[in-house]
Amino acid sequence: MAEGPQPKRKREEEEEKNGGTDTQGGATAAFTLSDLRVRRVLRESARDKIVFLHAERIGLSGEGTDAVVILEKTPFQEEKIPDLLKKPMNAELQMHNDIYCTFYLSPPPELSEIKATVVYPATEKHIQKYLRQEVHLIRETWEDYKNITLPFIQSQSFSIQVGFLGHWCSLLGFLGLSGLWWKWKDIDCAWIPASQLIPPAIQPLSPYSTWRSEGDNQSRDYRQAGGWNLKCGRRRVWVYNILEKKAEADRIVHENPDPSSGFVLVPDLKWNQNQLDDLYLIALVHRREIKSLRDLTAEHLPLLRNVLQEGKEAIVKRFGVPGSQLRIYLHYQPSYQHLHVHFTALGYDAPGSSVERAHLLADVIDNLAMDSMYYQKRALTFPLRADEPLFKKFQEAGKV
Ligand code: M7G
């Protein structure tokens, strides 16, 4: 097994010793896992040893804020396997028959890690994403994209909600009358008189006047301080944090800084970097206006070729995994409308790597080289959960 992932592990141990505080991007992890209370199991997989939980964090007022917690048993680390048998532990014999026997081991903590990914605060969209649901395949023509999908994506970027005393109410119409909202450099902004939302008598007391701007699976909450307040919510915050080195800067594996044909390669959130079996990295392009496969033309070929070539070179250099053992692909539809490319170990059955969602980057490049408008002509298939608003749009249009 290559040495690559080891330094990251040491760094994490250091961070843990220092209290596990993450100050990247100016956001300090202000809670611990024990602050979270499980509300229900959204989905679990015995095969993948993973469970998705809807949790909540109870504030001082007793008000709960939603969180999603993903608990996943991590793959074995080759170098630690001998310890599993050697270290004294409770090994219970369950059955013995001829040459076959089964033991149940209770390994010491360092050999029985569980990775916990937390999304907090989580939006309804995050919760729905992980809920076990009926899934349907959509066959989207270019016309469907223009008439159904694109307007839907654009409308999502401008949905702003406000929470008041625990009640979430849609505010779009309201904003039109009593406040201003606009978009500036991909930032959703709203300027609203707090006095119109919170009765003056309880304004100084109210800790609940939390703003939430939602779009592209990102949300931001803001406390109001009374009077007129400028509230800005950024979409795809995590992507821009990486591109601007406000978060995960120390995780960058490779960067091509060219604003037009450059990108940043980082380990994906799903990979703990402790073993290469489930290697997963993600390349985020510097250009911000390319939403997905649908926007790509031959003009983007230099960018895509850089991602493919430099991404492979960086991974073999850092992790020792050759390009011939990588699955390099784009998702359609992606969850985040900022062009990015997935790099996963070929032997790893990564979520979203199946034929209905994954498009190999090498094939995308060939298609665009043959026909610049390839992705503005052909129909694309993708899965949607039955409860997703976009699925409802396709239903209303009689396309499902
Ligand atoms: P996608 O194709 O838009 O959607 O991929 P999916 O999440 O349905 O696959 C986005 C990719 O970005 C996924 O592989 C995520 O695991 C990864 N990702 C998401 N977030 C919020 C982060 C993050 O904060 N950091 C990193 N490094 N990766 C992330």
For every residue of 334-366, DSSP letters joined together read -SSSS-EEEEEETTS--TT-STTTEEEHHHHHH
| Protein residue with its CA nearest to atom 21 in ligand 1 | 238
By most ligand atoms within 8 Å of CB, the mutation choice from 117, 241, 254, 335 for ligand 1 is 335
| Protein residue with its CA nearest to atom 20 in ligand 1 | 269
Q: Any residues with Cβ below 6 Å from ligand 1, and which? A: 238, 248, 266, 268-270, 282, 331, 334-336, 352
Number of H helices and E strands in the chain, helices first, is: 10, 21
Kindly indicate the confidence band of residue 30, based on its pLDDT and cuts at 50, 70 and 90: low
| CA 268 to ligand 1 centroid distance, Å | 6
What pLDDT does 98 receive?
83
| CA 267 to ligand 1 centroid distance, Å | 10
The residues, ordered by sequence, that sit 6+ positions from 101 with a Cβ below 8 Å of its Cβ are 93, 94, 95
Q: Per-residue pLDDT for 49 more than 70?
A: yes
Atom of ligand 1 nearest to the CA of 342: 14
What pLDDT does 92 receive?
80
Instruction: Give the rounded percent of residues in the chain with a pLDDT score beyond 70.
Output: 72
What pLDDT does 236 receive?
82
Q: Which residue has the higher pLDDT, 279 or 16?
A: 279
| CA 399 to ligand 1 centroid distance, Å | 29
Query: Residue 351: what residue type?
Result: P
| Protein residue with its CA nearest to atom 6 in ligand 1 | 335
Average of per-residue pLDDT across 44-54? 90
pLDDT tens, position by position, 143-195 = 999 999 999 998 876 443 333 333 333 344 344 333 444 444 444 444 444 44
Atom of ligand 1 nearest to the CA of 335: 3
Which residues carry out catalysis?
340
pLDDT tens, position by position, 116-136 = 999 999 988 889 888 888 899
Q: Quickly count: other Cβ atoms within 10 Å of residue 97's Cβ.
A: 7
Mean pLDDT of the chain: 78
Atom of ligand 1 nearest to the CA of 217: 21
Does the reported pTM lie above 0.75? no
Q: Which residue has the higher pLDDT, 171 or 260?
A: 260
| CA 103 to ligand 1 centroid distance, Å | 37
Q: Which residue has the higher pLDDT, 324 or 60?
A: 324
Q: Per-residue pLDDT for 363 more than 60?
A: yes
Low-confidence winner among 40-44, 62-66, 186-190, 384-388 (lowest mean pLDDT):
186-190
| Protein residue with its CA nearest to atom 29 in ligand 1 | 269
What pLDDT does 194 receive?
41
The residues, ordered by sequence, that sit 6+ positions from 20 with a Cβ below 8 Å of its Cβ are 29, 32
| Protein residue with its CA nearest to atom 8 in ligand 1 | 335
By most ligand atoms within 8 Å of CB, the mutation choice from 119, 238, 281, 337 for ligand 1 is 238
Give CA–CA dist 364/356, Å, rounded. 15
Q: Which residue has the higher pLDDT, 194 or 345?
A: 345
Atom of ligand 1 nearest to the CA of 330: 2
Q: Which residue has the higher pLDDT, 95 or 292?
A: 292
| CA 205 to ligand 1 centroid distance, Å | 38
Kindly indicate the confidence band of residue 222, based on its pLDDT and cuts at 50, 70 and 90: very low
Q: Which residue has the higher pLDDT, 106 or 207?
A: 106
What pLDDT does 265 receive?
98
Q: Per-residue pLDDT for 390 more than 90?
A: yes
pLDDT tens, position by position, 56-68 = 998 888 888 999 9
The interaxial angle of helices 301-319 and 361-370, nearest 10 deg, is 160
| CA 50 to ligand 1 centroid distance, Å | 17
Kindly indicate the confidence band of residue 235, based on its pLDDT and cuts at 50, 70 and 90: low
